[in-house]
Amino acid sequence: NAGVTQTPKFRVLKTGQSMTLLCAQDMNHEYMYWYRQDPGMGLRLIHYSVGEGTTAKGEVPDGYNVSRLKKQNFLLGLESAAPSQTSVYFCATRGMPYEQYFGPGTRLTVT
């Protein structure tokens, strides 16, 4: 099993460009999450989903949108990238009873 995978691993964007990060899981987990990790800031929740077709805002949702059209995929979109969105993005799923499993991360640089 691949567990939680993320595409792409690295990306450089110019300010104003858009992109979509893909998270895929093969563990049949209901809950999925998107975090961003910045130096000295820990992991901050952007958006999450409690099941197919549902999404909800986390701690830092501004500038991001998400979709969960299929149970196994959770997409994170940046409509108009800004330098403040330079970060490492982690996707996670929640297993039983509460453990979260993280993907390998996507390193995004916005210039």
Partner 1 sequence: GENVEQHPSTLSVQEGDSAVIKCTYSDSASNYFPWYKQELGKRPQLIIDIRSNVGEKKDQRIAVTLNKTAKHFSLHITETQPEDSAVYFCAASIRGNSGGSNYKLTFGKGTLLTVNP
Binding site for partner 1 (CB under 8 A): 31, 33, 40-45, 48, 50, 56, 58-59, 90, 94, 97-100, 102-105
Taking the least distance from each CB to partner 1, the nearer of 10 and 14 is 10
Shortest distance in whole angstroms from residue 60 CB to partner 1: 12
* Peptide bond before residue 8 is cis, with ω within 30 degrees of 0: yes
Taking the least distance from each CB to partner 1, the nearer of 17 and 67 is 67
Contact 21, 92 (CB under 8 A): no
Shortest distance in whole angstroms from residue 34 CB to partner 1: 12
**Which residues lie below 8 Å from residue 35, measured CB to CB, with a gap of 6+?**
43, 44, 45, 46, 89, 90, 91, 92
Taking the least distance from each CB to partner 1, the nearer of 17 and 86 is 86
